Amino acid sequence: MIRKLDHELEKSLIIKSANVRLETVKRIHKVGAGHTGGDMSAADILIALYTYMNVNPENINSKTRDYFILSKGHSAEIYYEVLAEFGFFEKKRLDSLGKLGSEFGGHPTKNIPGVEANTGSLGHGLGIGVGIALGLKRDKMKNQVFVLTGDGELAEGSNWEAAMAANKFELDNLTLIIDRNYLQISGKSENVMPLEPLDKKMESFGFKVLKINGHDYREIFEALNSSFDGKPKAIIAETIKGYGIRDGEGIASWHHMVPNKEQVIQMEIDMKRIVEEINNV
């Protein structure tokens, strides 16, 4: 499916992103826990995906829907906020986040409307996606499967087993998006477990590879719209961990840092400015 990103849609997504980012950070501040850094790096990718994919609250049980697996399940807070934004459940339900007995845990489960798989144990999402994509292909279905992994997560060997299977079964209905923020919980990914040359690695595993700015909606849409050329697709989305939080951008310790009151207020000012500026374009 091709979905065109015109100027008006791009503007609306930038505004949505500013609002969703801010709401997520406020919620993390209130609850006192969350994976703030990776939430912020994945925000634009998630918003672009839910705009692009053929999946919504009405067709979530349909056999023709597109599938999305958040393999980096620890980015649950932004995922919940995006699912609510796209109408899978009322935003008010998120008020229970962080409370005992809440359906919204620190990692997503299938109890939550819109969530296709329980994730959070890293390195599992791509294998799940490969299985769904293979099943759809064998049933001659046209729907697509999308998987979002972290970059640090690629140190899990199960990703590479899944990648080999994606190549073997020529899964040209599977898109892997890698949130390439070059950081993971314990530091720089290239120090902890080097991935480069990541594009060449993915190519050698039989993927069509695209490298983009993961905060630029035009580039994300262009990559999603590009043809598969008979192969599974890997989009290396270069992002900034903590994007949008002044004190948190590009800092590994913000993996699960909770923003303080001043940082939330600063973000409120910054996000408001983004919305004002985009409204004047």
DSSP state string for 95-138: GGTTSTT-S--SS--TTSTT--S---STT-HHHHHHHHHHHHHH
| Distance in Å, CB of 28 to Mg ion, minimum | 17
- The one-letter amino acid at 152: G
Q: Which is nearer to Mg ion, 66 or 179 (CB)?
A: 179
Beta-bridged to residue 67, according to DSSP, are 145
Residue 146: other Cβ atoms inside 10 A: 25
The site for Mg ion (CB under 5 A) is made up of 150-152, 181, 183-184
Q: Are 149 and 176 in contact (CB under 8 A)?
A: yes
CA distance 183 to 233: 23
Q: Of 160 and 169, which has the nearer Cβ to Mg ion?
A: 160
Considering the complex, state which of residue 129 and residue 152 has its C-beta at the smaller distance from Mg ion. 152
Cβ 181 to Mg ion, closest distance in Å? 4
Nearer to Mg ion, 51 or 75 (CB): 75
Looking at beta carbons only, is 171 or 183 nearer to Mg ion? 183
Q: Which residue, among 102, 40, 84, 100, has the nearest Cα to 259 in the 3D structure?
A: 40
Query: Are 206 and 165 within 8 A, CB to CB?
Result: no
- What is the closest distance, in whole angstroms, from the C-beta atom of residue 252 to Mg ion in the complex? 9
Residue with smaller CB distance to Mg ion, 35 or 231: 35
- Cα–Cα distances in Å, from 83 out to 48, 112, 116, 198, 249? 12, 9, 12, 30, 24
| Closest separation in Å from C-beta 183 to Mg ion | 5
- What is the Cα–Cα distance from 109 to 174, expressed in whole angstroms? 22
Least distance in Å: CB of 265 to Mg ion?
Answer: 27
Rounded to a whole number of angstroms, the minimum distance from the CB of residue 150 to Mg ion is 4
